[in-house]
A = this chain, B = another copy of it.
Amino acid sequence: MRYWKDCWGVNSMYYARVFITLKKSIADPQGNAIKEALLSMKYDGVEDVRMGKLIELKLENPTREEAEENLKDMCEKLLANTVIEDYSYEILEV
């Protein structure tokens, strides 16, 4: 599907959030430290804490599909270390 935007080279702005988390099998000492701190502050309900990264991006692309494709590529190549980390993302048009 082509939009009139393509013809005129007008790009849309997208706001993307990438969530990077350690894989379940990887130990997370930082998360454990936070858990212990919370328990020592009497938040007894805390069962588990995992620490991850949040990357917010502003992307200028002609279409949402292209933005998503680029974003996935960036995650694989730079943002996430896929040996030990999982990633997910969400994209909003702004």
In the complex, the answer to whether B54 meets A19 with C-beta atoms within 8 Å is yes
Of the candidates B38, B52, B59, the one whose C-beta lies within 8 Å of that of A54 is B52
Interface size on A, residues (CB 8 A): 37
Chain A binding surface, main DSSP class: strand
A38 to B70, CA, bound (A): 10
Of the candidates B37, B48, B55, B77, the one whose C-beta lies within 8 Å of that of A51 is B55
Report A58-89 CB contacts with B as 1/0, cut-off 8 Å. 11110000110010011001110000000000
Residues of A near any B CB (own CB < 8 A): 11, 13, 17, 19-21, 31, 34, 37-38, 41, 43, 45-61, 66-67, 70, 73-74, 77-79
